[in-house]
Amino acid sequence: MAQLIGGLASSHIPAIGGAIHKGLQAEPYWAPFFAGYPPVQRWLASARPDVLVIFYNDHGLNFFLDKMPTFAIGAAAEYRNADEGWGIPTMPPFRGEVDLSWHLINTLVAQDFDLVTCQEMLVDHACTLPLKLFWPEGEAPVTIVPININTVQFPLPSAKRCYALGQAVGAAIASWNSDKKVAVLASGGLSHQLDGERAGFINKAFDLQFMDSLVSNPEWATQFSSLDLVEKTGTQGVELLMWLAMRAALSTAGPRVREVHRNYHIPISNTATGLMALEVV
Amino acid sequence: MSKRQIEGTTPFDADAARKGYALNKMCFSFNSAENRAAFERDEEAYMRQYGLSEAQKAAIRSRQVLQLIEAGGNAYYLAKFAGIFGLDMQDIGAQQTGMSKDAFKAKLQAYAND
């Protein structure tokens, strides 16, 4: 059976793509952000996952309001990136892990998670940038299964529901008939707000408590409603739902997790950036 | 049922999704460079093509993000509109908070010391 070895979480601000493209990683503004990644890159080089299941939120590249799924899963052999409207450079296609996609679909739907299934799916910066941050040289040596969680249109799925989804994904990975090593990735967060008079809102105390909770008390944030999370973390801070789903998946794979590394830096663009790597023990 | 109020924040809910559909659909079209160019060639014709309301047209003409949100705009789609003008998130944040861009960046930076 497949083995779920650990989880990763990373912010995904579009400006990161511009900084990578222009080679600004060592500039004073960017260095505290990019300096977070080498320890995680080294862990990945030694742990060598074959497949990444990616919890992310589409920002209006693949999905529009005409058809807005709460949960959607990719089942494609290849995932392409495309122009998102601001001219950040696009990335080469990623290879899909189709067998695991369908195993997840069959297993999760049987457990009452009514997923939208996508045999074609454009993936935006939320999917592509973390891969570039974790494997800066060349193509990421993994296949992927993207799982999109709606953070565009309220009502969003609750933190509790995202946690349950993550648990079901973790258990399904463990029942996949494969000898591959799988890691789960959460893309998004942490606190930030792009829109409204409160634009620029950041909540450092909440972010740090949330990161701590993922190590030892992973269900802590499931007590909050979506609007609680907006109030505490900003309109886009709700992307921490991805982190919860990731951590929930790990909870099924072992009794606890070891924190490999974390980084937290304010600000990049309008965002408090977070990075975590957790290993199942 | 009255809505929960969160200071300076307009969650993109059912009311906004209904009101803002045409505006958001137009902004979603700006994923394509060809469509961005068509908008720039003739904004009024482009807005008519997408059936924007008068309030939405006025908001687009104003380039004011708060006015666009009031007209039902969603931040993720509006970002594609802002991209046409090369505005980044600090430009947009400064505009919405009535601050200079430098003051807005300083405000963000100050959170590091919380």
For chain A, list residues with pLDDT below 50. Answer: none
Tell which CATH classification among 3.40.830.10, 3.40.50.720, 3.10.129.10, 3.50.50.60 matches the domain A3-280. 3.40.830.10
In chain A, what residues touch B24 (CB-CB under 8 Å)?
64-65
**Is the domain defined by B14-86 classed in CATH 1.20.1440.130?**
no
pTM above 0.95, yes or no: yes
What is the ipTM metric for this complex?
Answer: 0.96
pLDDT of residue A90: 87
Domain residue extents for chain A: 3-280
Share of chain B above pLDDT 90, in %: 94
Measure the CA angle with vertex B92, ends B27 and B53; round to 5°.
35
User: Please, is A217 exposed, middle or buried when counting C-beta atoms within 10 Å of its C-beta (0-12, 13-18, 19+)?
Assistant: exposed
**Structural domain boundaries in chain B:** 14-86
Indicate if A192 belongs to the active site.
yes
C-alpha torsion sign, points A38, A40, A44, A50? negative
Provide the shortest C-alpha distance from residue A90 to chain B (in Å): 12
pLDDT above 70 for B108: yes
pLDDT on residue B2: 83
- The whole-number pLDDT of residue B1 equals 65
Q: Which of A83, A195, A229 best tests the B interface by mutation, with the highest count of B CBs <10 A?
A: A195
Tens digit of pLDDT for each residue in B28-51?
999 999 999 999 999 999 999 999
* Structure confidence at residue A153 (pLDDT): 98
